[in-house]
Structure 1
């Protein structure tokens, strides 16, 4: 287990302590890209996929960065304050503080959206070469507007309007998911499914066809917004949203190995 470190992101009343576990490269001569894990909504860096990615990095002498967004896992801050912009700011700050050279961004669910937005922001600042590739697992870009808003009930819309949030049971834990009006409004300002997403790097998407949270048609829609070259979509016929079965982990790591050999 890599040592827990804390990084401060933001200033004054917006400062929050972000929990980070960073594994330095054990083989600098290999010059392989580092690995950066970007988790999903309400997930943390101790999940199966994140831990297995770190174990792969250790085995192959690669660097690996894992962290918890504010309001998640071991990080500070309130979950209800979370937005895509807030979590994106934290992701970029930790990326800048801990990583050097090219990195493979591995984003799961909401982390796929964060990965795309990170790449866009890095391209704006002339740092596109920092991202060697995107590996997106059941990616959920624009999930607020594309996946949730069309299904909102009248009661949920009323709760967003009057109290600023609503809660929804989840099969992934005892606590309900919380969705805020700020999350929906901010999500709209971070939309990526509005035109061609310029990547400048390879993209590999792994999507389960039995995913109850992110339909595989959403992955097909994402592909439509990516450049035609160097984009691979792997559909897993019996795969769910977690993609954490042994065969799913093996598929993820095989893809990581291929993308870091390029």
Structure 2
């Protein structure tokens, strides 16, 4: 993004009340033309809005004359709240609050990993409110819908099951940072209530999925399964043979920008 490109408005949004209140950090680049879409970034588990892909879509939005919204879930990045309090329902509530606050026109949801799951749940909620016309498209990057039930629970060791039962969480090392991943009993139990791969998913918009076939965290079989649950939508699945989970290499970002351009062009 050049120095003359528009800069996002940085703000904080309070979600919830009482002991459940938390401040969410938001970066909002308003759309110059309200008729053009706003890109809404929904990040992954333990990622934040300063990540490579999030920053790249904001730069692309500025260059293309689109709006963009990035934010951190509670317990992530610059937002308040404790990470261990996080659940899909809690982060979904925050996502919908940010959309309500920052997006008035059409939007393209861009969900990465867990953000793909939250994007699907957000669309379900918006459609239930009668706001389906606002959803212009959905771009998913290594989406992980139902990952607690699909990927975590089937692989639990006996030690991890005991830890969940006795202390309410377990930890596992991650190659993405020095701190271990933490998975709580609340996250897993709440995940069962938010499953989307239980029947037909209707988004009512075009969908483009970018999935690496060398992804060590979310197997590409899950992307294929998701496609099977989207029979009524116009779905494009791009499998990247040597792609990892992050899909943040220059070539990957080029594919992401092209997917967004195709979505905007209709």
Indicate the TM-score class for this superposition, using the shorter chain for normalisation. over 0.9
Distance in 2 separating the partners of 1:101 and 1:63: 10
1:89 equivalent to 2:93? Answer yes
Distance in 2 separating the partners of 1:146 and 1:259: 29
Distance in 1 separating the partners of 2:230 and 2:251: 27
- SS at structure 1 position matched to 2:244: coil
Where in structure 1 do 4 or more consecutive aligned residues deviate above 3 Å? none
Aligned to 1:159: 163
Distance in 1 separating the partners of 2:248 and 2:257: 12
What is the deviation of 1:252?
Answer: 0.2
- SS at structure 1 position matched to 2:127: helix
- SS at structure 2 position matched to 1:192: coil
Aligned match for 1:44, one of 41, 48, 55: 48
8 Å CA contact retained: 2:86, 2:187: yes
Deviations along 1:159-203, whole A, 9 cap, x unmatched? 000000001110001111100000000000000000000111111
- SS at structure 1 position matched to 2:14: strand
Change (3 A) 1:186 1:229: closer
Aligned to 2:16: 10
Matches within 5 A, 1:235-254: 235-254=239-258
What is the deviation of 1:52?
Answer: 0.4
Matches within 5 A, 1:159-238: 159-238=163-242
Distance in 2 separating the partners of 1:153 and 1:130: 43
What is the deviation of 1:229?
Answer: 4.0
Aligned match for 2:29, one of 17, 20, 23: 23
8 Å CA contact retained: 1:84, 1:187: yes
8 Å CA contact retained: 2:41, 2:70: yes
Deviations along 1:198-223, whole A, 9 cap, x unmatched? 11111110100000000000000000
What is the deviation of 1:18?
Answer: 0.1
Q: For structure 2, which runs of at least 5 residues remain unmatched after alignment?
A: 1-6
Aligned to 1:117: 121
8 Å CA contact retained: 1:32, 1:261: no
Distance in 2 separating the partners of 1:7 and 1:34: 18
TM-score normalised over the length of structure 2: 0.96
Q: What is the alpha-carbon root mean square deviation over aligned residues?
A: 0.9
8 Å CA contact retained: 1:5, 1:19: yes
Distance in 2 separating the partners of 1:6 and 1:246: 31
Distance in 1 separating the partners of 2:259 and 2:171: 36
8 Å CA contact retained: 1:9, 1:15: yes
- SS at structure 1 position matched to 2:125: helix
Q: For structure 1, which runs of at least 5 residues remain unmatched after alignment?
A: none
8 Å CA contact retained: 1:26, 1:61: yes
Change (3 A) 1:182 1:229: closer
8 Å CA contact retained: 2:205, 2:233: no
Structure 1 residues 31-40 or 81-90, which shifts more?
Answer: 31-40
